[in-house]
Amino acid sequence: MAKADGNVLPLFPKIERGRATGHGVQPVLVSPNRQDVGSEGILAALISKLRNANPATVLSHPGPDDLRAKRVRKIVIVTDFIGSGKRACEILEAFGNVASIQSWRSYGLIEFEVVCYSAAEWGAKTVADHRLNPTLTIYAACPVVSETFMGADLKAIEDLCKKYPKGSKWPMGFNATGSLIAFSHGIPNNAPQIFHSSLNGWQPLFQGRSTLMSELDQVADTSDHVVKQSTELLGVRNAREILHKQSGSVWTHTMLVLHAVRSGLQSIEGLSARTRLPIARVTEIVEVASIAGWLSPTRRLTKLGRRELRWKAAKHGALILARQDDELYFPTQLRAP
């Protein structure tokens, strides 16, 4: 984002005041000194495909003239990841500093939405609290160091990150986010610098924040993590087969969410980050578990919810579930008693 004296300038140049006119900004801006293109290139290609498939309703990077002529009522900002929320807020601020945008908003003619694959919980809150009041749509919350580990484990990890590499300004990543996520196109700068910084000769796992040489496709993915959690927390040894069956996935995912709630988490984003389940899935499970009486209105385990967790431990602690098509038994049938 263009800035002057530390302040974000209007997205469309030379229109701080009065009627905004002209074309939109380029989808991908490449510096002559830095020719590589990261997630912005991937996202620009996806947006172009969406526009081509829906030419009557979707515009890609429109300027004031197109916004006005097409009577656009929603501006959607797309990103792969929200860490601290700083960049997304700067983009929103750049829109908000356009006089015409301010006028349209005052009449309720335009609204904003931010769409991303993943986000750290407090970064997402920062974006949601922006003065443009955007709708925020996230596929899955991002786990962060401070919420994934606890006690002595957390302290040991933080001490290690502060030690390597030496002299790091942000040992836990930009704005101390501590994100634990990597994409095929790279790792965010919000991740601990032990993973990607070459400061003072340190040799990181992701050199230059690139995941190309790290064989990322051989690293456990989200589904592997859910299977591992299912096996460790629920005692379901053939968890992958269970998860691939609709009835089994409902039961297993619900138990994972209840277990995360028992650990003290309450927010949808926090539960998504802990379980690695999509936010939409966690939201659905929380609603069903609340109807069943397993969760209170404040998302705390009820007596019935605690009984369900004890039931799974007693019934499945050392049991290899039958690999058949019969639906799994639900003690309270996911309905209110």
Q: Is the pTM of this model over 0.85?
A: no
231 and 214 within one domain: no
* 122 and 213 belong to one structural domain: no
- 241 belongs to a structural domain: yes
Mean pLDDT lowest among 41-55, 74-88, 197-211, 313-327: 313-327
Check whether residue 197 and residue 233 sit in a common domain: no
The model's pLDDT over 305-314, given as tens digits with 9 standing for 90+, comes to 888 777 765 6
> Phi/psi zone of residue 271: left (φ > 0), alpha (ψ -120 to 50 degrees), beta?
alpha
Q: Residue 51, SS3?
A: helix
Rounded to the nearest integer, the mean pLDDT of the chain is 79
pLDDT tens digits, 173-206: 999 999 999 888 889 999 999 999 999 999 998 8
Residue 322's pLDDT band (cuts 50, 70, 90): very low
State the pLDDT confidence band at 246, using cuts at 50, 70 and 90: low
Tell me the pLDDT tens digit for each residue of 83-96: 999 999 999 999 99
Instruction: Please state the rounded mean pLDDT for residues 33-40.
Output: 57
pLDDT of 323: 35
* 127 & 17 share domain: yes
The Cα–Cα gap between 239 and 230 comes to 6
Both 152 and 136 in one domain: the answer is no
What CA–CA distance (Å, rounded) separates 304 from 29? 55
Same domain, 134 and 156: no
Residue 124 belongs to what domain range? 3-25+61-141
SS3 8: strand
**Segment of 39-53, 196-210, 218-232 carrying the highest mean pLDDT:** 196-210
Q: How many residues does the chain have?
A: 337
| Residue 243 to residue 250: CA distance in whole angstroms | 8
